[in-house]
Amino acid sequence: MLFGEVAFLQRFARARAAGFEGVEFPFPYDQPAPTIAEQLAEHRLAPVLHNLPPGDWANGERGIACLPDRRAEFRDGVGLALEYARALGCPRLNCLAGAAPGLARGVAFDTLVENLAFAASALGEAGVQLLVEPINTRDMPGFFLNTSQQALDLIAAVGSANLWLQYDVYHMQVMQGDLARDIERCLPRVAHVQIADNPGRHEPGTGEIHYPFVLRHLDRLGYTGWVGCEYVPATTTEAGLGWLAAYR
């Protein structure tokens, strides 16, 4: 994770010093929202995105939205995430579907549809976008949502205008490739893009994905949203930012 080598509240100053104008973070809930808001204001950073609470992350949970016996907890998490989004001025929240070992896929899918419909409505009333993200099965074995088509089918099943796709180029390269065509196909429902190279999930330029083409392709298609750097720096964050020079 970008700036993952330093404590959370120290990352805002580092991000601004490195030239970033916006930041995303997975889970802000260990810090009071006013404290985070102070950091954003002090360093003139836009809050771009954070995730709904994922369940017990430390013990391996990667979301609870597809688990039928966790519906009440999920709804409580939507409320908490919305409190933070309002306090921080964050315009979009991402939902991790989670894993459902031993659960019939149809039951997990129906639960996910129900939970996303609830969250999309609650967030929509507050002017906050809800996103879902497919994640590769190598990094998260058993994760319920793995491909862009699964995500589009899920969005169609929910039927809400306030449910969007978070398109992580790294995950989609691992799972399916054919990135240029897939990005073009998905773009009408894409509200946020994340990048990392493959293999290793390091910064662009360290692997097989030709990011000069991918980023130009996003421009050609008319994408105007944020591109989040969700990668593990090969050494330190600052040392790995050389790839950005061509885009500034």
Q: Cα separation of 155 and 10, whole Å?
A: 36
| Residue carrying structure tokens 């836009």 | 46
- Let me know if 125 is a catalytic residue: no
- Going by C-alpha positions, the residue among 60, 19, 59, 74 that lies closest to residue 43 is 19
Query: C-alpha 222: how far from its chain's center?
Result: 20
CA distances, 71 to each of 26, 30, 99 (Å)? 21, 22, 14
Q: Are 233 and 204 in contact (CB under 8 A)?
A: no
Catalytic residue among 38, 125, 133, 203: 133
Residue 49 tokens, joined: 């995105």
Catalytic residue among 61, 73, 114, 230: 230
Residue 3 tokens, joined: 């700036």
- Let me know if 38 is a catalytic residue: no
Q: In 3-123, which ranges are E strands?
A: 22-24, 46-51, 92-95
Q: Are 70 and 62 in contact (CB under 8 A)?
A: no
Active site residues: 133, 230
